[in-house]
Amino acid sequence: MNQELAKHTEIVNKRMVKWSYSSISLFQQCPKKYYHLRVAKDVREKESEALLYGSQVHTVAEEYVRDGVPIPQAFSYIKKPIDTVLETNKGEVHCELRLGLTKNLEPCKFFAKDVWYRGVIDLLILDRENNKAVIVDYKTGKNPKYGDTKQLELMALAIFKHYEWVESIKAGLLFLVNPALIKAKYLTGDQADLWVKWIEEVNGLERCMETNIWNAVPNFTCKGWCPVLECVHNGKH
């Protein structure tokens, strides 16, 4: 066995594919970039100012909703849209809820040894009386037209597994800078069809892990944002 193959085999044996919406999105964008960032881990992606700011907003929102900590003036704009959600949806409130699923689609802890899928829900409201739930994901981007509701599908699927009594879910991407709510709705009967799609995506990732073939897919991030300098499509060449 040559050295490169031995290294790859060791990686595959150690790492059952564990995935999230962000990781599968990265893989869909460019398998080669995914390999260097998540498998070989031989490059690192710098945190942009937008990502750091988004993290701050999430922390402020969590502390406000969960603990009643006053919102600093610099983030005062988030109060009204969050209050509107809380006032119009009554129930048991959870913030930054971490959920895991095994490969058999059974609920598990976020850091369980057999965890397969991981997801974090910014705001969850459980209405046990009516067998309903509300999922909200905070967004700090300025343009709601770029909202991708696909991540809400995965959050809903995790909720249906962790709270089997939930029959319907209202979900939304809550844009906080220019207030807007991109809505979606899911019923417990939707699960099978939705899982077929996501499992197909993960199967593609698993095939790359098995074959060690990670093709580059040129895209808009190549010119100035991709940290994989060895790639021929990298704009820094």
Model confidence pLDDT, tens digit, residues 98-124: 999 999 999 999 999 999 999 999 999
Domain count, the chain: 1
Q: What is the mean pLDDT of residues 161-186?
A: 96
Residue 58 has pLDDT above 80, yes or no: yes
Examine the pLDDT at 153 and tell me if it is beyond 90.
yes
- For residue 14, pLDDT beyond 70: no
pLDDT digits (tens, 9 = 90+) for 199-233: 999 999 999 999 999 999 999 989 888 999 999 99
* pLDDT, mean of residues 128-157: 92
pLDDT-derived band at 146 (thresholds 50, 70, 90) equals: confident
Is 65 a domain residue?
Answer: yes
Residue 137 lies in a domain: yes
- The number of angstroms, rounded, from the C-alpha of 207 to the middle of its chain's C-alpha atoms is 21
Q: Is 56 part of any domain?
A: yes
Report the percent of the chain where pLDDT is more than 70. Answer: 93
| Residue 59 domain-assigned (yes or no) | yes
Q: Is residue 154 part of a domain?
A: yes
Bigger pLDDT: 133 or 225? Answer: 133
**Quick check: 40 pLDDT over 50?**
yes
Is the pLDDT at 158 greater than 60, yes or no? yes
Q: Is residue 81 in a domain?
A: yes
Is 6's pLDDT higher than 60?
A: no
Whole-number pLDDT of residue 11 = 47
Does 69 reside within a domain?
yes
Q: Is 90 exceeded by the pLDDT of residue 63?
A: yes
Cα separation, 224 vs 138, in Å, equals 26
Print the domain residue range for 166: 49-195
**pTM to 2 decimal places:** 0.89
| 107, part of any domain | yes
Going by C-alpha positions, the residue among 167, 165, 158, 168 that lies closest to residue 108 is 158
Element (H, E) at 169: strand 168-175
Query: pLDDT at position 144, please?
Result: 82
pLDDT averaged over the chain? 91
Banded model confidence at residue 2, pLDDT cuts 50, 70, 90: low
